[in-house]
Structure 1
Amino acid sequence: MEALKPRYIEGEGTPELQWQSWLAQAPLGTTPAEELLQGCERVVIVSPHPDDEILATAAIMQHCEANALPCTVIAVTSGEASHPGSRLWTPDQLAQARERESAQALALLCPGSQIIHLRIPDGQVQDHQPQLESRLQQLLRPTDAVFCPWRYDGHPDHEATGEACAAATADVGSRLFEVPIWTWHWASPGDQRVPWQQAVRMPLSADQLDRKCLALSCFRSQLLPDPSTGRPPILPRWATARLLRNFEVVLR
């Protein structure tokens, strides 16, 4: 996730209690990871910012680790723009810290994974979308299952990443799965802008959810306030609550 100017995303968004009430009755099917990944030889997770991979695909990564399925995380940016105007964090310090936090989190969920840093400028993925698409075409294989943010997720970097992944997977022949992340903030239960008919739940066991929470705790730069600017955490509890359920939602 990332600090951003209001677009779809402002305020605290739709409370998790509203989502819980709706999701308890919503006709979203449950699909275990092994069924979703049938026939795939590698999982590739394309993450716009460090921590998006943990928030969106912890279930998939833990499945990969448990089943010796190769997993590669492609880090699009290093998240260096998350604290504008900070005297505590320079962009270079943030990039180093967030790459380190991501490595620590991945070591908890999927220590056998590989991470590739593209270091596209944070907040400028749309401007570099052709470059990203070209790089993905080089890195992806036809037998990959690719996970990325939904191309209409509401955050510019997320949407550009999703669009680049859609184009690259269509070209290479990889299987594409899109994941709503910021969607849970700006959308409302049953929102007709979201293709719920494509959505499936991927369950997390209690142990898997505990590991996801522990992995997320590695991102201290995003979970603590910035005293130099007076800004609250980039990832406040009301935001993480929507992504720390006992299941994750994937659009297939």
Structure 2
Amino acid sequence: MTLQRPQNPIQAPGTPLAHWQSSTTLQAVPAISHDQLVPRGGRLVVVAPHPDDEVLGCGGVLAGMRGREQDLLLISVSDGEASHPDSRHWTSERLRQQRPRESADALRRLGLDLTRLSWLRLGLADGAVANHERWLAERLVQLLRASDRVLTTWRLDGHCDHEAVGRACARACETVGARLIEVPIWAWHWARPSDPRLPWQRAHKLFLDRAVLALKQQAVAAHTSQLQADEQTPPVLDREALARLLQPFELVFT
């Protein structure tokens, strides 16, 4: 039997944090250290569909790259200009400028020196990355090395851009021999605790100590466009969504 997600998984009511915390399947996921995830001497390539995905999905991993910024390549696929489609305040033109600034502020709050890392913005259309998926995979093949660890959004995360970027990264990693690491973001919203649709057999937890979790919280707070209500529209990231994404660990599929 093929297990399906809801048709519009992000718009459906979200799974409460308490349900995840009581999941025996999640509790049984083994731990992984930062050095196991990103061995010393290797490069971490983070491919983010939108500005903020790199912090929401792997802010703790990024915080662990402090002092190793020369081993970090951040690729921003889109500028996140479509997050507020009906807003007069957050127009696409304003978001195209604002959201990358928020990402830069967030990375600094994680303790990273932006002058020492490499950051590439591709400028693909937010909400339509799938239309350029083949191009993205080919571009990644040009950028990746066989020794890279490539961290991106899960291929079945429930957002069209997250899934397209995940597929493109998987294809590129297979071509060059790099190792793929996927993180769920919207799956925390639509999936059930112990959900068989998640690849638990590939799951590991990177535990975040209090100091790192505090840095991640500060970094998330930099994304003001996503955290504030706008006219009659609630924030993109509400309190419940943030609670699920700011647990004291990060879930990775290796």
Q: TM-score range by the shorter chain?
A: over 0.9
How many Å apart are 1:12 and its aligned residue? 3.4
TM-score (norm 1): 0.93
Q: Of 242, 247, 250, which residue of structure 2 is paired with 1:248?
A: 250
Unmatched 5+ stretches in structure 1: 1-5
Among residues 160, 164, 168, which one is paired with 1:164 in the alignment?
A: 168
Supply the distance in 2 between the matched residues of 1:69 and 1:205 (Cα, whole angstroms). Answer: 24
Q: How much is the aligned-residue C-alpha RMSD, in angstroms?
A: 1.5
The match for 2:181 is: 177
- Identify unmatched segments of 5+ residues in structure 2: 1-6
Q: How does 1:44-123 map to 2 (within 5 A)?
A: 44-67=45-68, 70-109=71-110, 110-111=112-113, 112-123=116-127
CA contact 1:56–1:181 (8 Å) conserved in 2: yes
Contact 2:82 2:92 in 1 (8 A): yes
Deviation at 1:66, TM superposition (A): 4.3
- Structure 1 runs, 4 residues or longer, greater than 6 Å off: none
Question: Deviations 1:71-108 (Å, cap 9, x if unpaired)?
Answer: 11100000000111211122111010001000111112
Match of 1:28 in 2: 29
Cα distance between partner residues in 2 of 1:40 and 1:250: 21
Give 1:26 deviation, angstroms: 2.7
Which residue does the alignment assign to 2:159?
A: 155
CA 246–65 in structure 1, closer or farther in 2 if over 3 Å, else same: same
Give the drift of 1:143: 1.3
Query: Aligned partners of 2:235, 2:24: CA distance in 1, in Å?
Result: 27
**Aligned sequence identity (%):** 44
- Structure 1 residues 106-151: Cα deviation after superposition (integer angstroms, max 9, x where no partner): 1122224322100100000111101111111111111111000110
Rate the CA distance shift 1:25–1:7 in 2: closer, same or farther, 3 A.
closer
What is the TM-score of this pair, normalised by structure 2?
0.92
Asked if 2 retains the 8 angstrom alpha-carbon contact of 1:44 and 1:73, the reply is: yes
- Write out aligned runs for 1:182-197 (5 A): 182-197=186-201
Q: Which residue of 2 aligns with 1:3?
A: none
1:39-82 residue CA offsets vs partner (Å, 9 max, x unmatched): 66110100001100001111211111145561111000000001
